[in-house]
Amino acid sequence: MPDLATHLSRAVGEAFGAAGLDPALGQVRASEVADFQCNGAMQAAKGAGKPPRAIAEDVAARLAGVAGIANTEIAGPGFINLTVDGAALAARAQAIANDARAGAEVVTPRRVIIDYAGPNVAKAMHVGHLRSSIIGESVKRLFRFRGDMVWGDAHFGDWGFQMGLLIVSLEERFGSVESEAVKSAITLDLLEEIYPQAASRAKEDPSFRDLARKATAKLQAGDPAYRAIWRVMRDVTMATLKREFAALGVSFDLWLGESDADPLIPEMVVDLETKGLLEEDQGARIVRVAAPGETKKKKLDDGSVVVAESPDPLLIISRDGSAMYGTTDLATIVQRVRDFHPDLVLYVVDQRQADHFEQVFRAAAKAKYIPREKLEHIGFGTMNGVDGKPFKTRAGGVLKLNDLIGQAREKARTRLQEADIGTNFSPEEFEDVAEKVAVAAIKFADLSNFRGTSYVFDLDRFMSFEGKTGPYLLYACVRIKSILRKAADQRVAAGPITIAAPAERALTLALDAFEGALAASYDRRAPHFLAEHVYALSQKFSAFYDQCPILSEKDDAVRGSRLALAQATLKQLEIGLDLLGIAAPERM
């Protein structure tokens, strides 16, 4: 059964058609003043040479007797306001209550790869990785729920210059990287201690930088000892990362790394060469991606301004012969096309990498690896500190996922204690609830903003049980669960749904809006539409529960109907939250 908006859009579209106008004008949407409204008459007026009100009246007259419409009204310059009848609302609520998907449609399945998180060996994760993990996980769940075949890939950064820096530092510290001692000494803590020192030393010390470059090249060329130590560093990091991601409710189908694309590079370079796409540029090898005439003004180091092609060419092989970030991304496309035949590849990565992806995507299309429209960069803004700059920890360093989760869990415990929640729980249950509250707070705060917007990290606000927060939504779920438990204890059973009271109408309209919110989140790859929906739904439930008693209702049929509405609401809330990557506890 389609949602009411779809059903009504079809009916109003047919009325526009019967009036000799474009049926597409019949699109309706939720309204503040009625149940739904259609603005098509205003759009139609120009072309039809008639006043919009006259068109609206004509269309409205043709809607008389249409199933589901109780009343039409023309407002203002020609808005068509529609009120849905109680029977249609009841039928829709019943369909949602009976449906395991709570009223959500499925799409024609596609093969979709989602590239997200993108953590690196040794380099600590920053807010970009955190946001990518949260948004990517939600987009993955959303696409899968809509019916697509989805692979989430962590695209592990395990192949760049940082590996050379680490190897050279380990050689210095342990004499060589071949001993068992060095292998067993490697922990994430050690790597995270060594890497920042090595990175800053490389900036000041050209000979050290050179050593690290050579080590990187030697590793990439397949030196057995370097490969062996590289594998240890990679495995140690991956094991820790998997644990940290699990704590955040983030998991991947593939843990392919940049290194996995490396074997494809030589052949790809030959292929680009054969296709005449590779050009020599001051000793480096590049692929030009700007169309003729696509230019921008560029400031040179000496201060002069020149007109240069835009986007910049994609650097394939640097002057000293190494493969670059863009090279692995291009080779990864070759690999993904070969192994997965994707219809769509989504890259959930910080907005600041937009130019990089534009270059890579254009190069991939030029080389005919995959059409440009099958590649999409899903960019996002930053999570900022109160200073307006990307969030750092109190010590000023970049954020570590573990620290953030720990900090949130700590705050969740305090909040629960302050609210007297869980005083009678076992320690295990209390910890489980604190963990769920922590994750819900962090994720909902992120996902309730449009992904392109930057927002300020404010754990106190995220963790509040009031307002548009994750903990509030968990509380809403738990409250319904407790009503359902009481109903079971009192042997009250759900019955057929009827809709009469205004709060029942409003709750049903909110339930009906799920499909539209899912479609918007899916089409725009933007989970905030769904976040907005679950919040609105929980508020409508709250108003319903205030105005429409359930267990204390005397009339059996009304009580059974309201209980069924409560069950349907919980099901949809839990599905919606799960698609945001959020799980609710049984009680709190």
**Contacts to ligand ARG by CB under 6 A:** 115, 118, 120, 155, 157, 329, 347, 349
Query: 27 vs 162, which CB is nearer to ligand ARG?
Result: 162
Query: 118 vs 581, which CB is nearer to ligand ARG?
Result: 118
Sort strands 284-287 and 28-30 into parallel, antiparallel or unpaired: unpaired
- What SS3 class is residue 499? coil
Cα–Cα distance for residue pair 134/370, rounded to 1 Å? 27
Q: Where are the beta strands (DSSP E) in 446-525?
A: 455-456
Type and span of the H or E element at 316 = strand 314-317
Query: 115 vs 171, which CB is nearer to ligand ARG?
Result: 115
- What SS3 class is residue 363? helix
Q: Using CA atoms in the order 421, 425, 427, 433, what is the torsion angle rounded to 10 degrees?
A: -50
**Least distance between ligand ARG and beta carbon 155 (Å):** 4
Query: 157 vs 527, which CB is nearer to ligand ARG?
Result: 157
Complete edge-to-edge strand list for the sheet that includes strand 344-348 = 149-153, 111-115, 344-348, 375-378
CA 131 → CA 134, 250, 386, distances in Å? Answer: 5, 12, 17
Nearest residue to ligand ARG by CB is 118
Query: 157 vs 164, which CB is nearer to ligand ARG?
Result: 157
Query: Exposed (0-12), middle (13-18) or buried (19+): which is 35, by Cβ within 10 Å?
Result: buried
Query: 166 vs 497, which CB is nearer to ligand ARG?
Result: 166
**Least distance between ligand ARG and beta carbon 302 (Å):** 30
**Least distance between ligand ARG and beta carbon 122 (Å):** 11
**Least distance between ligand ARG and beta carbon 389 (Å):** 18
**Least distance between ligand ARG and beta carbon 327 (Å):** 11
Query: 160 vs 560, which CB is nearer to ligand ARG?
Result: 160
**Least distance between ligand ARG and beta carbon 236 (Å):** 17
**Least distance between ligand ARG and beta carbon 415 (Å):** 32
CA 394 → CA 285, 398, 446, distances in Å? Answer: 43, 9, 20
**Least distance between ligand ARG and beta carbon 129 (Å):** 6
Sort strands 375-378 and 149-153 into parallel, antiparallel or unpaired: unpaired
What number of other Cβ atoms are within 10 A of residue 103's Cβ?
24
Would you state the structure tokens that stand for residue 27, as one six-digit string? 């699109």
Tell me, rounded to whole angstroms, the distance of Cα 538 from its chain centroid: 21
Query: 117 vs 442, which CB is nearer to ligand ARG?
Result: 117
Cβ pair 476, 543 in contact under 8 A: no
